[in-house]
Every structure is written in C-alpha cells, then in structure tokens.
Amino acid sequence: MDFKGQVAVITGGARGIGKTIAEALARKGVNIVIADISSEQAQGTASEIEKLGVKSTGVGLDVSKSEEVVRAFGEIAKDYGRIDILVNNAGITRDGLIMRMKEEDWDAVININLKSVFLCSKEAVKIMAKQRYGRIINISSVVAFMGNPGQANYSASKAGMVGLTKTTAKEYASRGITANAVAPGFITTAMTDALPENVKEEMKMAIPLGRFGATEDVANAVVFLASPDAGYITGQVIHVNGGMYM
C-alpha cells in the first residue's frame, strides 16, 4: 500500500473511531487533516498525529454548514495542494422513540450525519476530479441495515449514507474516484464502556464472534479502501460487525 505524499481529511477525527483511522493512515505516511466541531480537540489530535512523522493540521468545522465546509476545504487545498482521501466519519446520536422524538433531534442527526457527507464530498470531488484520483470512505453503521428501536433518525441517516455512497461512486468513477462505505457494528468506545455488564453481555450474544469490535478493526477496513490496492472496488459496503449482520 503506497500512500506516499497523500493527504487525508477525516471529519469527526479528534477522538474515537475517527482518531484511530487518522493514526492508522498516518502510520502509512499519509498527511492528516483533522476536522472536528471542537477546534481545540482537533488541534490536540493533530499534534499527536505529527509525532508519527507526518504533517497534520486540526481544523474547527461544523460539517453541517455549507459555508464552513467550503471555506475549510479551500484552505486545506491551499495548504496541502491536494486531497486524496476523504473519510466522512462525523456523527451524533439523539435517541428516542419515533412518537417522542423531537423534530430538532431528527434534524440535528440528519444534518450532522448525512448532510455533512454531501457537503464534504461535494467539495472534495472538485479537487479529486482535477487530480483524476481520490478515495471517499463513508462511515455508516450496522443499524442502517438492521434498524434499531429508539434510533429512527440515526438509522435513517446511516442508511441514506449508503445510497449517497453508491451514487457518488457512479458519478465519479470516470474521474478515478472511488466511493465506499464501512458499516461498523458494536465497537468498544467510551459509550459502550459505560454500559452495565449485563447489558454488554446481552449485546455480545447477538454477535457470532462473541465480542465487541475495536476501533482498529474499523480503521483497518478504511485503510484498505483508501489505498491504491482497492482501486477496483467502488460503491460497496464493508461490514465490520463480527457477524452480527450478514
């Protein structure tokens, strides 16, 4: 996997799965731009990434606002001269049963999780098309395919991401750009760590491999899809869920 001289933009990259993806790509020699709602956290993570021997920048960005996305991608292109990899990872949850879900909670999740993929991809493909090379990887979820009670907004946003991925793949294949999605299942994070042990054990019973995934499991799939080795793979969803959904 030869990533020499490449540049990746990772939304929601300051922590969790996004941070692990950033670290994994940096270890391959990719220069990293961390885009996150928290400028301070983005810059902090970027400083850590630079210790891996690559250039890294932290950018404060609300990915649901078009004017901020246009500005940020313009600055990134100016600073780095190119964008080779876009990982649309930013996401939030605002859980609740449909009957009780507030409209503003629906809108917030759709805007951050789905609208952001449209806005960021739109700016990235302008740059990638000129290069005639690019990799777009969207972080979806197992609930896009299974549904999940209390997560109508989240499930819908992640399912919409899959359709957007396939359309992007068809529109820009002729420009040397691939677009794929990774759909994680239950991944060990601060959120799952806080669950009661009995709840975690019940969740594991639904996973044939009998354990939660690690953020590294997701990052490994992203690194492959971002690599030149995956050049003939586009419009696909890689499921990283331990067999929870097949």
Please state, in angstroms and as integers, the Cα–Cα distance from residue 87 to each residue in 19, 28, 173, 180, 208, following that order.
Answer: 11, 15, 17, 10, 28
Tokens of 209: 């491999």
Q: Which of 22, 25, 32, 11 is nearest to 90 (CA)?
A: 11
Q: Which residues are catalytic?
A: 154
Q: Please give the Cα distance from 225 to 43 (Å, whole number).
A: 26
Residue closest to 57 by CA, chosen among 89, 85, 22, 92? 22
